[in-house]
Structure 1
Amino acid sequence: MNKTKGHFIGLVPLIIFLVLYMGVGLFSGSFDNMPLMVGILIATAVALSLNKPSERLSLNENIEIFCHGAGESTLVLMVLIFILAGAFYGVASGMHAVDSVVNLGLSILPSNMILPGLFLIGCLLSFSMGTSMGTVTALMPIAINIASKTGINVAFVSGIVVGGAMFGDNLSFISDTTIAATRTQEVQMKDKFKTNIIMVLPAVIVNLVLLLVQNPSISQSAANHSYSLVNLIPYVLVIVLSLVGMNVLPVMTIGVISGIIIGVIHGDFTLLKSLTVIHDGMKSMQDMALIALFVGGLVGLMHHLGGIDYLLDKLTSKAHSKKGAELSIAALVSFLDIATTNNTVSIITAGPIAKDIADEYGVSRKRVASILDVFSSAFNGLLPYAGQLLVAAGLAKVSPTDIMVYNWYSMLMIVSGLVFILIGDRKEKN
């Protein structure tokens, strides 16, 4: 099969972005000092100034290529989904659905199951919310309280919380990583979920067993954890409708509307105030939506400059099988996540490349979407400079690296993902 070798010059914008982002973060001591949007904007400016050795395009022509890449239909749809997911999260928080999920888990948690129970609550909450950061913020005060009452290392319980948070970040139907993985590979969420859950289930089981043998106990009172089953209706609707295969846009819309109705009936906000709640939720996803468009435009320029073909050629030069192709995809998204500390951005960036690799070697798109999500989420939960560990460490008043070594689930995700790739699935087809 003839393949285009591409040009290294097409990778220069990506290299500049990674060097800037990693360099500023490491030298300044905080990766917040180089916002992703600014880094991508600089890389885009560089890409607009470059040309392939064999041609010379004007700035206007390069801008046209950028706009075409940013306006790709999959990306525009992804932006709409991001905005609706933000609206859903805003409404769910405003109507106290998040509190109900946490308190429901705590009320049914046996005292001798506190550690595996804490992990399961994190899984349930993150799957319902679709955000690892929100899960860490909601559960860390509970984890710190457990540590103080039992004498368990606070870094240990913090690692459990972060692990549970990454479970939902990887699998939730409203998680931005799931949205990015499914849209870039053009597969349905339910299909990706079925493949993905098989991929990580061994990691969940092993993690639960490891936590169970620790077996500390603490007295819990169900009376201290009030919840409303009615408040869970929006989450149930989103999960059930997604599983039956309904399009994600109406699913998100139904979730938002149901949350507004319940919130108004319970007096959490008025119908007029709900508009502000929706808007605040949308604003929380605003940066991610813009980043998705900029990355799409940047990838379009890199593709035109030959960078994508060059990267594909190098990644697949030793990938002579489906397994080799899948390992290449896992390595690519992991590298990007380590560099950017953002699993969604790493998926958006790696997605088009991964799709080309999948088509080249006949890899199922469902497997590709799962691999992208699993490896990016796993590494994001293990980076001491990523948001999840930084927030947990700040609340627990310990070092992020102390927590990192106790996030067993993320480590097990990587192991389980590699086993999943090496075993393969000969029955699965595109």
Structure 2
Amino acid sequence: MDKKSNFLGLVPLVFFLALFMGTGIITGDFTNMPLLLALIFASGFALLFDKKGEKTSLNDKIDIFSKAGGEPTIILMVVVFLLAGAFYSIADAMGAVSSIVNLGLSVLPANMLLPGIFMVGCTLSFAMGTSMGTISALTPIGVGIAQQTGIGLPLVLGTVVGSAMFGDNLSFISDTTIAAIRTQGVEPRDKFKANFLIVLPAVIITLIALTFLSTGNAELATYEYSLVRIIPYVAIIVSALIGVNVMLVLGIGIGSGAIIGLAMGSFNMVELFQVLQRGMGWMEDLAIIAIIVGGLVGLMSHYGGLDYLLEKVTSKVKTKKGAEMGIAALVSVIDIATTNNTISIITAGPLAKDLSKEYDIDPRRTASILDIFSSAFQGLIPYGGQLLLAAGIGKISPIEIVPFSIYSFLIIIFGLLAIIFDLPKLKSKDNKNDLTMKG
């Protein structure tokens, strides 16, 4: 066994899951154990451990925790949370939410609202390459639709999260795509072709399911809306589609909403400041949760927990199909442990490449497996950034959204079927642009 690997490094995660999930199961209500509190308890518990064969002082362990919690990606996520809250608050205060919801209710048939949200989210996330930006833009609209129609809010938010993970998985510019193709040495378009053929059935079934689930109290009627008031959403979507950074995208949305709100008398300058603060306040818990999760993962990595995962998941691989299952399991478990699908791909990628060479797995297929499974679980873990953001804007528990992240569940199923039945069939690397689903 690698001297760096140690099961004890995973015990804080087990403790957290047992505390959070156990309390919810025993009491019948997952809100009875606040997510932040469970994570703080788990972090305190983690400080009791030591790296295998070493003695680390409490001060050093706190430093490790603090540096990991303050990692640039985590801080960026915190700022995105705060900006997303500010945008939602200002969009609500100046009438953008009600206007765009009423426009949707006027244009779309009642049974096409959820498929419409899903397709818009897929397009947006694919164009901008970030699930967080997509959730920031669409969740306020989804909340409004749920309030107007009576469609369950968890279902609407699960639809938004699923659509966001579509682009996170497939976009040419997403972090996960870049990580997957770089660790496996393949071209973006080749990985996209292999990946898309695997998830296409999941997209189709999701749209069909959402059509049947789009039931509510919406009546066929013309609702009152203002095209001027929806400009902040148009600005966000357009700026995202042309590839603007997610923070700038949210800044454009906030700025345009402020200008229109002031011009149309929705609020004055002093009230605008209060509206912005209110929205950021809604997201404060989530921002702290992101930092605590980062610190906890840093301690688990220091103790050898992630190395233990790497070792155990791949130790029993004997066949090509077993190697593919091992790669899928490895990246999934690391994502559950780290709550970051890009980090999980970067961590699992080198070992996945070794397994691919040993068992003659096409690297395009390996890259697809890494990206599909990491993105799927990222859309399902209730303490991950995507569900935290959606739940924060919707003011519900993230655990309520999990059962309704239909697309995330389906891409796991079709990912497993692709491994079991060796689909899609990839032609030789000499003709690597030709892919087929034929046996």
Q: TM-score if structure 2 supplies the norm length?
A: 0.70
Structure 1 residue 118: deviation in Å? 2.8
Q: How does 1:145-184 map to 2 (within 5 A)?
A: 158=152, 162-172=154-164
Q: How does 1:209-220 map to 2 (within 5 A)?
A: 209=208, 220=219
What secondary structure is seen at the aligned counterpart in 1 of 2:47? helix
Tell me what 1:357 maps to.
Answer: 348
Listed one character per residue, the Cα deviations across residues 244-276 of structure 1 (whole Å, up to 9, x for unaligned) are 222222221111101111111222211221111
Structure 1 residue 350: deviation in Å? 6.1
Tell me what 1:119 maps to.
Answer: 114
Uncovered stretches (5+) of structure 1, i.e. residues with no partner: 145-156, 337-345, 381-385, 395-399
**1:34 counterpart letter in structure 2:** M
Structure 1 residues 129 and 44 mapped into 2: Cα distance closer, same or farther (>3 Å)?
Answer: closer
Tell me what 1:315 maps to.
Answer: 313
Given that 1:330 and 1:375 are in contact with CA atoms closer than 8 Å, whether structure 2 keeps it comes out as no
Tell me what 1:56 maps to.
Answer: 55
Listed one character per residue, the Cα deviations across residues 109-147 of structure 1 (whole Å, up to 9, x for unaligned) are 34xxx32x1323543787776388756643344444xxx
Structure 1 residue 308: deviation in Å? 1.1
Tell me what 2:68 maps to.
Answer: 69
Structure 1 residues 38 and 212 mapped into 2: Cα distance closer, same or farther (>3 Å)?
Answer: closer
Structure 1 residues 233 and 42 mapped into 2: Cα distance closer, same or farther (>3 Å)?
Answer: same
Tell me what 2:9 maps to.
Answer: 10
Tell me what 1:297 maps to.
Answer: 295
Tell me what 1:130 maps to.
Answer: 136
Tell me what 2:18 maps to.
Answer: 19
Select which of 240, 244, 247 maps to 1:246: 244
Given that 2:86 and 2:254 are in contact with CA atoms closer than 8 Å, whether structure 1 keeps it comes out as yes
Structure 1 residue 18: deviation in Å? 1.1
**1:250 counterpart letter in structure 2:** L
What secondary structure is seen at the aligned counterpart in 2 of 1:52? coil
Structure 1 residue 55: deviation in Å? 0.9
Listed one character per residue, the Cα deviations across residues 25-63 of structure 1 (whole Å, up to 9, x for unaligned) are 111222112111111111111211211231111111111
**2:69 counterpart letter in structure 1:** A
Structure 1 residue 78: deviation in Å? 1.7
Given that 1:329 and 1:372 are in contact with CA atoms closer than 8 Å, whether structure 2 keeps it comes out as no
**1:360 counterpart letter in structure 2:** L
Structure 1 residue 6: deviation in Å? 0.2
Structure 1 residues 64 and 165 mapped into 2: Cα distance closer, same or farther (>3 Å)?
Answer: closer
Q: How does 1:304-343 map to 2 (within 5 A)?
A: 304-318=302-316, 323-324=324-325, 327-328=328-329, 331-332=332-333, 336=336
Select which of 139, 142, 153 maps to 2:145: 139
**1:311 counterpart letter in structure 2:** L
Tell me what 2:339 maps to.
Answer: 348
Structure 1 residues 177 and 67 mapped into 2: Cα distance closer, same or farther (>3 Å)?
Answer: farther
What secondary structure is seen at the aligned counterpart in 2 of 1:222? coil
- For these two proteins, the number of residue pairs brought into alignment is 378
Select which of 251, 258, 283 maps to 1:260: 258
Tell me what 2:374 maps to.
Answer: 372
What secondary structure is seen at the aligned counterpart in 1 of 2:379? helix
Given that 2:137 and 2:233 are in contact with CA atoms closer than 8 Å, whether structure 1 keeps it comes out as no
Q: TM-score if structure 1 supplies the norm length?
A: 0.71
Cα root mean square deviation, aligned: 4.5
Tell me what 1:341 maps to.
Answer: none
Structure 1 residue 316: deviation in Å? 3.2
Listed one character per residue, the Cα deviations across residues 285-341 of structure 1 (whole Å, up to 9, x for unaligned) are 21111111111111111111111111122233356778435522564378x4xxxxx
Tell me what 1:340 maps to.
Answer: none
Structure 1 residues 302 and 219 mapped into 2: Cα distance closer, same or farther (>3 Å)?
Answer: closer
Given that 2:15 and 2:42 are in contact with CA atoms closer than 8 Å, whether structure 1 keeps it comes out as yes
Given that 2:341 and 2:378 are in contact with CA atoms closer than 8 Å, whether structure 1 keeps it comes out as no
Structure 1 residues 373 and 215 mapped into 2: Cα distance closer, same or farther (>3 Å)?
Answer: closer
Tell me what 2:100 maps to.
Answer: 101
Uncovered stretches (5+) of structure 2, i.e. residues with no partner: 125-133, 181-187, 354-362, 383-387, 434-439
Which has the larger displacement, 93-102 or 413-422? 413-422
Given that 1:88 and 1:281 are in contact with CA atoms closer than 8 Å, whether structure 2 keeps it comes out as yes
Structure 1 residue 10: deviation in Å? 0.7
**1:238 counterpart letter in structure 2:** I
Structure 1 residue 374: deviation in Å? 3.2
Tell me what 1:30 maps to.
Answer: 29
Which has the larger displacement, 234-243 or 200-209? 200-209
Structure 1 residues 330 and 59 mapped into 2: Cα distance closer, same or farther (>3 Å)?
Answer: closer
Given that 1:8 and 1:306 are in contact with CA atoms closer than 8 Å, whether structure 2 keeps it comes out as yes
